[in-house]
Amino acid sequence: MFSSAIGRSRWVRSLRSAAGFLVILAFTFAGLMAITFFIGRVIPIDPVLSVVGDRATNAQYEAARAAMGLDRPLAAQFVTYVGDVLSGDLGRSVSTNRPVAEDLRRVFPATLEMATIGIIIGVLLGVPLGVLSAVKRGRITDQLIRIFALLGYSVPAFWLGLVGLAVFYAGLGWVAGPGRVDIYYDGLVDPITGLLLVDSLIEGDLDVFFSALHHIILPATILGFFSLAYIARMTRSFMLDQLGQEYVTTARVKGVPEWRVIWVHAFGTIRVPLITVIGLSYAALLEGSVMIETVFSWPGIGNYLTTALFNADMNAVLGSTLVIGAVFIVINKVSDVLYRVLDPRSRT
């Protein structure tokens, strides 16, 4: 009976935690919709002119404005906007003449694919470099890693992308050029998941796979370099804090091998906060790939958003901003959940 009461208590706490998580998620998304909507109304771009053109008569302009619902009070427009978003309607793009939601389903997988490879590169290189920098604190190795990480904060993305194309594509010919795949392979693979590398493997088309791999490796590596800089810096900071703790000194005095002290004792303690760092870095890659996608003509959400801004396509701009913000919120909340799962102390 006592164990049954404990089990019910755990279920109640779990349900309350899940409900609280969903409520916070809903309020955060509502705030994101409000900010997105009102920013879209105050920026100096007239969405009506992008539809009717600057040669339209006043009557045509007013008719289009009424048809778009922009003649109604701002509060009424916001209520309509929220209803449309919740039903999956993000409006129609002026640039493509297709629903924005359909466009985003088409372009977002390209950004997801590149950002995922980028974060894998950032984690596989950034974490060991951060640990090595902490272990070799003050030495030449530490200084070189810190300078390398500093470049990731300082170098503009578009400049690094252009230099990468000039050196590795035009100069050495090691990688393919702009675009997602060679033009003669475009459209040969059906978009099952939208991830071209995955879809080409599913259909067994290795020619498309290797072409897509040659195209994605350079932009993904550049993205990975920026995430590497942040992950290495935070890993170093976490490790320095733990290497100075008494339990590490005790382990060394007892004769525990140094590799075990570093990777089992110290690194085992920092893996929980490191998950949050990696999650935020991943979200930043998804939302910050605009410059890289523009330089490499990558058909992702960043390139789509840039084109929409140049064309004053407000439905596409607001829809893209909303999706990017929603992805950031979801990844942040998932990181919080993983933090609670891996660290029992945070559940209290």
The domain spanning residue 305 has which CATH number? 1.10.3720.10
Are 170 and 35 contained in the same domain? no
Whether 169 and 138 map to the same domain: the answer is yes
Q: Tell me: the pLDDT tens digits for 31-45?
A: 878 887 777 776 666
Alpha helices in 136-195 (DSSP H): 140-154, 157-164
Which CA distances in Å does 60 have to 13, 41, 50?
A: 59, 21, 13
Q: Which helix (H) or strand (E) holds 80?
A: helix 74-86
pLDDT band at 200 (very low <50, low <70, confident <90, very high): confident
Judgement on whether residues 74 and 121 belong to the same structural domain of the protein:
no
Instruction: Give the total number of structural domains in the chain.
Output: 2
Residues 70 and 118 in one domain: no
Last residue of a domain, one of 23, 57, 86: 86
Domain boundary among 26, 61, 86: 86
* 94 within some domain: no
Average pLDDT of the chain? 81
Residues 6 or more apart whose CB falls under 8 angstroms from that of 206 comprise: 200
This prediction has a pTM of: 0.81
Question: Quick check: 204 and 281 in contact, CB under 8 A?
Answer: no
Pair (37, 176) in one structural domain: no
With left for phi above 0 and alpha for psi between -120 and 50, is residue 204 left, alpha or beta?
Answer: left
Give CA angle at 50 (45, 52), nearest 5°: 135
12 and 138, same domain (yes or no): no
Q: Is the pLDDT reported for residue 120 higher than 90?
A: yes
Burial grade of 239 (CB within 10 A; 0-12, 13-18, 19 or more): buried
Residue 92 forms beta bridges with which residues? Answer: 99
92 inside domain: no
312: left (phi over 0), alpha (psi -120 to 50) or beta: left
Cα 256 to chain centroid distance, Å, stands at: 40
Between 6-10, 17-21, 209-213, the lowest mean confidence (pLDDT) is in: 6-10
- Cα–Cα distance, 90 to 169 (Å, whole number): 38
> Distance between CA 334 and CA 338 in Å, rounded?
6
Q: Which range marks the domain in which residue 9 is found?
A: 2-86
Section 213-235 average pLDDT:
90
Handedness of CA 79, 85, 89, 93 (dihedral sign): positive
